[in-house]
Structure 1
Amino acid sequence: MASFDLSLEELHEYRSGSAEPEGFDAFWSKTLQEAREYDLDARFEPVDTGLETVRVFDVTFAGYGGHPVKAWLTLPAAATEPVPLVVEFVGYGGGRGLPHEHLLWASTGRAHFIMDTRGQGSAWGGGGGTADPVGAGPAFPGFMTRGMDAPENYYYRRVFTDAVRAVEAARSHPSTDAARTVVLGASQGGGISIAVGGLVPDLVAVAPDVPFLCDFPRAVTLTDRHPYREIGLFLKTHRGRTQDALRTLSYFDGVHFASRGSAPALFSVALEDQTCPPSTVFAAFHAWAHDDRTIEVYDFNDHEGGGPYHEAAKMRWLRSYA
């Protein structure tokens, strides 16, 4: 599929029309305050993986509602003092997988913490192991419309809270340098990293790749590819609920978290990406509050984005921050 969105020149000028909801900051402050009423209870169990160059820990910590969330922490085996920390969030449908799937960042001398996404982990990769014990009203299959009747009930309220708590859990390990924490991820993981970048004020860098969950009003009317299409199909059945749905989604729109981003950021975008349309990525990029922001553009790629080329770009970029 050739480019289908705005031209690159227009993308550089595009700004989102997504309206920030009233009480956005209060909503998230209250959400995180409630989550922190539960003991973080971060537990790190050593795992014998057969890998010689890294040490791996099976992690459990308390996320939203005190619910147990799983993760892996991978450390360079030779590290004798705290090392910079990379916290990673995964794409839609995936889970934390298996430890040997995630060796890049520990190979650069950093600690790597990869969070399971509650309720997911059964669509690709090595799977996940974190339940989502919260029920919801009627929803279209998938995760995008679960609890969409109100911001308090929406699925991503739980996920974004888990992600903030993941940073806190990762920082609690004595081998990680909390002062040099980076968050990153691709697709859904990129959207989560933008949210965390807006909710955690003392990160040193944020790197969202082809991020999902941005500029909802445009995304749901521009692409008919899943997962955004889940929202359209829900509203196709539940006629007349569009404005209520968009109000709920506005509390989770990456554009509004980006406007609170307080760390340097490296975005990536693919101009043939129909899953996360380029204009929605540029919307979050242009909203990013920190002056030190860069976007890598992959002209002829779909949702795979820059792939290994962008991994190399991130490694070069992060040398300046962590």
Structure 2
Amino acid sequence: MHYDLPLERLQEYAPDLPEPADLDDFWARTLAPLRRDASYERVDNGLVGVETWDVVLSGYAGDPVRAWLHLPAAALRSGPLPGVVQYQGYNGGRGLPHEHVLWATAGYAHLVVDTRGQGSGWTTGATGDPAGSGPAQPGFLTRGLDDPDTLYYRRVYADAVAALEVLRSHELVDPARVAVAGGSQGGGISTSVAALVPSSVAAVLADVPFLCDFRRAASVAQAEPYLELVRYLAAHRDRVEQTFATLAYVDAAVLAPRATAPALFSVALMDVTCPPSTVFAAYHRYGGPTATKEIDVYEYNDHEGGGAYHQARQLAWLAQVL
């Protein structure tokens, strides 16, 4: 059912979200130590048109992050290629070598990146999270909420930036033509990465993004993972304002005005996981008033969004942009 704001109000929903005074310094300090270190081991993916490497890159604090690098077989004799860094939905991982090869089959260098500590939900991952945290709800959203420095998503976003720079530095990749992409959590990560390192991102594909407008999401979301936050605040009644102030450091809608790359968003108006209003918050704030951006609206869909229809739209849009 349509439980959020009607579409005419969503098209105007651009909240003035408070941001931490030290937001830019916080992220400059977080990202400064990152390296472009990566190792590559070729693997047999069972496919003919795509070659795959098992990648281990250095993420936050030098922690190892796993990814698959897929290249069109023809790329081994040509280049440079445009690239796509793909971030995963909540509790998904890079999966098996043959699972995520759409962008490589379309001619892109395609880096499929694990999310640390995740990958035991709808597909598998191979990256742990060595850092600990204080009391948290089961899941990932409330880990490290005591302090911005310990926030789980601080580490995730740093890993994501490191992965982007690894792909941009690959000898077969054109560093000026690398896009970031993902659905749900991956859409929120993509939006945030575009804001954190705008000069490194050529385009953004943010599909039904998570991690946006946390206070609004906690008020209206009908399903996990935002309900982790609701349960946490129900238990920690004295930490409501502190919690939202901390989450502002990783709120994709708060970060979004810093982005500059062209962007294609999508939203589903029956999405009970990522409320449509939170997606529009990130979209309207993205890149400021002069940004080149579009949003596709799927009126009768839940969190699956546009599915294969939207993939076709993304293929055509990114080919035009890059």
1:116 match: 114
How many angstroms apart in 1 are the aligned matches of 2:152 and 2:206? 20
Structure 1 residue 173 corresponds to structure 2 residue 140: no
For 1:280-299, what aligned pairs fall within 5 Å after superposition? 280-289=278-287, 291-299=291-299
Of residues 145, 150, 153 in structure 2, which corresponds to 1:156?
153
Q: Please give the secondary structure, in 1, of the residue aligned with 2:61.
A: helix
Of residues 145, 148, 162 in structure 1, which corresponds to 2:142?
145
Structure 1 residue 241 corresponds to structure 2 residue 262: no
For 1:190-229, what aligned pairs fall within 5 Å after superposition? 190-202=187-199, 203-229=201-227
2:2 match: 3
Structure 1 spans left out of the alignment, 5+ residues: none
How many angstroms apart in 1 are the aligned matches of 2:259 and 2:297? 21
How many angstroms apart in 2 are the aligned matches of 1:213 and 1:16? 15
Structure 1 position 159, deviation (Å)? 0.1
Query: Aligned Cα RMSD in Å?
Result: 1.0
Contact 2:56–2:67 under 8 Å retained in 1: yes
2:80 match: 82
Structure 1 position 17, deviation (Å)? 3.9
Structure 1 position 291, deviation (Å)? 1.9
How many angstroms apart in 1 are the aligned matches of 2:46 and 2:106? 19
Q: Please give the secondary structure, in 2, of the residue aligned with 1:59.
A: strand
Contact 1:139–1:145 under 8 Å retained in 2: yes
How many angstroms apart in 1 are the aligned matches of 2:92 and 2:256? 24
Contact 1:16–1:255 under 8 Å retained in 2: no
Of residues 43, 51, 65 in structure 2, which corresponds to 1:69?
65
Q: Please give the secondary structure, in 2, of the residue aligned with 1:243.
A: helix
Deviations 1:14-73, CA, capped at 9 Å, x for gaps? 11242111111111011101x32xx43211111122211111000001000100000000
Contact 1:180–1:321 under 8 Å retained in 2: no
Query: Counterpart amino acid of 2:19?
Result: E
1:310 match: 310
Amino-acid identity (%): 54
Structure 1 position 130, deviation (Å)? 0.3
How many angstroms apart in 1 are the aligned matches of 2:188 and 2:70? 23
Q: Please give the secondary structure, in 1, of the residue aligned with 2:272.
A: coil
Deviations 1:217-252, CA, capped at 9 Å, x for gaps? 100111141100101101111111100100110111
Structure 1 position 103, deviation (Å)? 1.6
Deviations 1:92-142, CA, capped at 9 Å, x for gaps? 0100001211121011111100110000000112x0000100000011100
How many angstroms apart in 1 are the aligned matches of 2:298 and 2:307? 10
How many angstroms apart in 2 are the aligned matches of 1:189 and 1:291? 21
1:98 match: 96
Contact 1:11–1:279 under 8 Å retained in 2: yes
Q: Which runs of 4+ in 1 moved over 2 A?
A: none
2:126 match: 129
Contact 2:87–2:189 under 8 Å retained in 1: yes
Q: Please give the secondary structure, in 2, of the residue aligned with 1:144.
A: coil
Structure 1 residue 187 corresponds to structure 2 residue 187: no
2:259 match: 261
How many angstroms apart in 2 are the aligned matches of 1:307 and 1:130? 27
Query: Counterpart amino acid of 1:244?
Result: Q
Contact 2:55–2:66 under 8 Å retained in 1: yes
How many angstroms apart in 2 are the aligned matches of 1:259 and 1:291? 9
Q: Please give the secondary structure, in 2, of the residue aligned with 1:149.
A: coil
